[in-house]
Amino acid sequence: MKLYRAYAAIIAAGLSSVAFAEQTDKDVVLNNYKKTSTEVNTTAENIDENIEKQRDVTYDRENGVLPIADNRGFSLASKDGKFILKPYLMLQTTLAFNYYPDEGLDKAYNQDNVANSGFAIPFGIIGFTGKAFGKIDYNVCVNAAAKGGALLQQAWIDYAPSKALRFRVGKQKTPFAGAFLTTLGETLFPTMPLSLTCTSILPYSLNAVNPSINTGWDLGVKMHGLIANKWGYELGIFNGTGGNVNTATKGFSDDNHLPSLLYAARVTFQGNGPMPMSQGNPNLLDLGTKYLVGLSVNYNNEAENESTNDFRTGVELALLSGSWSMAAEGYYMHVGFTKRMKIDDKFNYLGGYAQLAYFLNKSWQLGVRYDWMDRNGTRKDGSLNSPGVVCNYFIPQTNIKLSAMYQYTGRWGHDTQADRDLDNLGLATHSAMIMMQYAF
């Protein structure tokens, strides 16, 4: 109850200070713009134009949801820009249709081909983000649509002695897979690639959870930074238990006598300067050409309730150039059982996707994606392929995004019908979704 009262008090104070916020926002943006551009016109007549042009560029997007002081909502800031507070909200409502194949359905229990369809709210995020002392970024938010430990979506403090050396502690995104690291609400599709989110298939039922390639949210610490305005790096240690657990539950590995944690690293090259992690934002169409090439690797020591050790690696490419955006990734996962499981067996999985999008104008964006997953492992023939299409509409001057997508999940190359049936269990053959999103 105290938490809700605190939220209400801060929001009320912010609403009563909108006029002040707008003025200091101009001062801070103009200040930053002077530092990053030699072409800025500092006359009063051009201040508003410069703010609209550079707001998304000059402010960091570290919270993974909204830039700290863009044109959605308001911010409170000191005149020197060292202290900034931004309350924010991001809400998504979806209408989904999923059609499942006959395999895995028990007609005796009247299980239907159409399931997991209807309305849903995947994200109802309320949070606060900002800066302090010019060296600290902070962010805390809850996802009211989640439950359990996932209710706390993010909670971290980021200390930056310099741009090239930063330390972040708390619940945050693990440094793996550009599709997941993309700013929430600025992905091309309403859903992430299936190859990242679907669980792998193992011929054993001893482990509690079959691992997926994506590592998601987690608690931990990472060192990161941007060197020479081109080279990005992230080195982190996390619990390896995912976003549903907010407590310390790990011990030491019996196999290699190391702490049972997730060890992760990611390196990127951004040749034309820092690239926003975005796949669709009409405010970035005048940004010029930005690109990113990345390599990531992690090892989850005694993952999944001490049943497997999971090694992952991935390569990514992303591009923003005017109305065009492109992204492609490939990833690999090696799963080996621990000694205590008494299973001398190992499995390898591959996956990847490629997507392309184009803004017809500042309101309409069209995109396509091809997603591929070797879900049953490299030792068996057969894989999943999921082509999809999407249309996004950004309603002017409302912060509302409408998105409509369709995705087909097919199977090919399997040796037997049984392998083909097993590979698609739990996955819809036909998926369609309409999403409405609002953010400030």
Q: Compute the distance between CA of residue 181 and CA of residue 347 in angstroms, rounded to an integer.
A: 26
Q: Is residue 112 part of a domain?
A: yes
Which residue type, as a one-letter code, is found at position 390? Answer: V
Q: Is residue 46 part of a domain?
A: no
Q: Is residue 263 part of a domain?
A: yes
Q: What is the CATH number of the domain that holds 275?
A: 2.40.160.10
Q: Is residue 35 part of a domain?
A: no
Q: Count Cβ neighbours within 10 Å for each residue of 352-366 and write b for 16 or more, e otherwise.
A: bbbbbbebeeeeebe
Q: Domain containing 151: what range?
A: 58-439
Question: In this structure, what are the phi and psi dihedrals at residue 132, rounded to the nearest 5 degrees?
Answer: -145, 140
pTM above 0.85, yes or no: no
Q: Is residue 383 part of a domain?
A: yes
The torsion region of residue 97 among left (phi > 0), alpha (psi -120 to 50) and beta comes to beta
- Give the residues of the chain that fall short of pLDDT 50: 1-59
Q: For residue 24, what pLDDT is reported?
A: 36
Q: For residue 37, what pLDDT is reported?
A: 34
Taking a C-beta distance cutoff of 8 angstroms, is the pair 34, 40 a contact? Answer: yes
Query: Residue 109: CB partners within 8 Å, gap ≥ 6?
Result: none
Q: Is residue 27 part of a domain?
A: no
Q: Is residue 51 part of a domain?
A: no
Q: Is residue 21 part of a domain?
A: no
Q: Compute the distance between CA of residue 124 and CA of residue 438 in angstroms, rounded to an integer.
A: 10
Torsional sign, CA 66, 243, 152, 225: negative
Tally of structural domains, the chain: 1
Taking a C-beta distance cutoff of 8 angstroms, is the pair 429, 78 a contact? Answer: no
Q: For residue 217, what pLDDT is reported?
A: 95
Q: For residue 104, what pLDDT is reported?
A: 66
In the numeric block, which tokens belong to residue 134? Answer: 């010019």
Beta strands in 360-422 (DSSP E): 364-373, 383-395, 400-408, 410-412
